[in-house]
Amino acid sequence: MGIRGNIAKNYWIKSGILSLFQNLFGIIFGFVGFYFLVRVINEEQYGAYVLFLATVSIIELTRNGLLQNAMIKFISAAKEVEKQAVISTSLLINLAITVLLSLVILILAPILGYMWDTPEITAMLYLYIIGFFISGIQMFFNSVEQAYLNFKGLFYCSFFNQIISFAYISICFFFGIKMTLMSLVWITILSTAAGTIPSWLHARHHLQRISFKLDIDWMKKILNYGKYAMGTSVNAQLSSTIDQMMLGGLLSPAAAGKFNIALRISNLANIPSNAMATIVFPQGSKRAETGGNEALKYLYEKSVGSILAILVPALLFIYIFADPLIHFIASEKYVDAVPLLKITLFYSLFIPFSRQTGTILESMGKTKLNFYLVLFTGIFNILLNFAFISLWGVLGAAYATLVTNSIFFGVSQYFNSKLFNISLLNPWVYAVQFYPEIFKKVFPKKSISEYNV
């Protein structure tokens, strides 16, 4: 293997390990923190907090979707003399979008508080504007680092983001300290600020020539690419949270909280999907430029296969032990979430295919197609949720999302086959090959000369 082969191998190994551990720590901190949280606050408070997080996630993704992938793509592909122009222009767009969306939060906050009959959400959203400005700077630093195919800063940033919130919830649980929803927002702001420090430390050597000069040509390229990526991100997030939002509006915040319990537990199985998506996009952008469709076909099939190899056993385990898991993780207060969990596990199987489809399409620059696919899915999901929740209550939200994911899977596979000649069978073949490949890497065969000491 030559130097280029060793570099590529090291990229996948190092990036994969960092990204996997980042998601693993996120799940661990999130899981244990959640275990404590549902025992410290009541069902209505937890439901209100879920609705707040769903709202904040959509607003964050509106900005991040517009800039993050565009920054990574254009910085990684630009000539060295052009990189600083892309970075400087991205920073100015970031600041402008953050100000604009903060005004949107000010307008939406009282409306959402009234719609969900939870006035405290209004105050929480007003307060979060502080954290929104900080998270924008953090996203900027992380995107610059990822564009240079580095992930250490992203790892430490994620770690600090999570550890402070986790510590606060744990202290309240063990010492019987009364927790308020407003205090959770303050802790979120503090943890975001702490996570921004390692982001800056690892990105700063790429920002030495940064200026506050707007390059009109690069602005047009970034916004033209980012507008579809933003729409895709927002639609995808809306599709994954609309069920909870509609449950909060049509039923109650507590109903949204119960559904969120099921999603949190099923997400334990999605660690490999999250880890792989983080490292595939920048690599996909490079391969689209050099290897074309054949390279993207292999990248998709191999990455999905690796995810399935870990995901399927995890889903089976959670399905078999769904009842005791709910009792142990969320307590008997949320026993109604057991059937919800079993349904969410079924559509979790489609997530690797859908997520990597979006990643590959955006790597190739087909953000418009990806946008329309996700938009269609989001609209369909909203209509189904309205109908199914009206008919079957909380279970209706789970059935609506299952049907939506099944249809999106079929449509995305059609385009994968047409555009990249991707086979639905090959990922499963790679999934079966995954275990012997890992075994050989962990226990490599020694040559005869190594035994003859």
pLDDT category of residue 21 using cuts at 50, 70 and 90: low
Task: Note the pLDDT tens digit of each residue in 212-252.
Answer: 788 899 899 888 888 877 877 787 777 778 889 898 888 88
Assigned domain for 345 exists: yes
More confident residue, 392 or 5: 392
Assigned domain for 441 exists: no
Assigned domain for 442 exists: no
Assigned domain for 425 exists: yes
Distance CA(338)–CA(31), nearest Å, equals 17
As a whole number, mean pLDDT of residues 145-167 equals: 82
Is it the case that residue 96 has pLDDT exceeding 90? yes
- Cα maximum dimension of the chain: 78
Q: Give the pLDDT confidence score for residue 451 in this predicted structure.
A: 45
Structural domain total, the chain:
1
Assigned domain for 453 exists: no
pTM, whole model, 2 decimals? Answer: 0.75
Residue 234 in contact with residue 65, Cβ under 8 Å? yes
- Which residues, including other chains, have CB under 8 Å from residue 138's CB and lie 6 or more apart? 157, 192, 195, 196, 199
Assigned domain for 445 exists: no
Assigned domain for 193 exists: yes
Report the chain's C-alpha Rg in angstroms: 22
Assigned domain for 10 exists: yes
The whole domain housing 368 covers: 3-436
Q: Give the pLDDT confidence score for residue 187 in this predicted structure.
A: 95
Is it the case that residue 12 has pLDDT exceeding 50? no
Task: Note the pLDDT tens digit of each residue in 178-207.
Answer: 999 999 999 999 999 999 998 898 888 878
Q: Give the pLDDT confidence score for residue 276 in this predicted structure.
A: 54
CA dihedral 21, 24, 30, 34 (to 10 degrees): -150
Q: Take residue 153 and report the two structure tokens written for it.
A: 């800063």
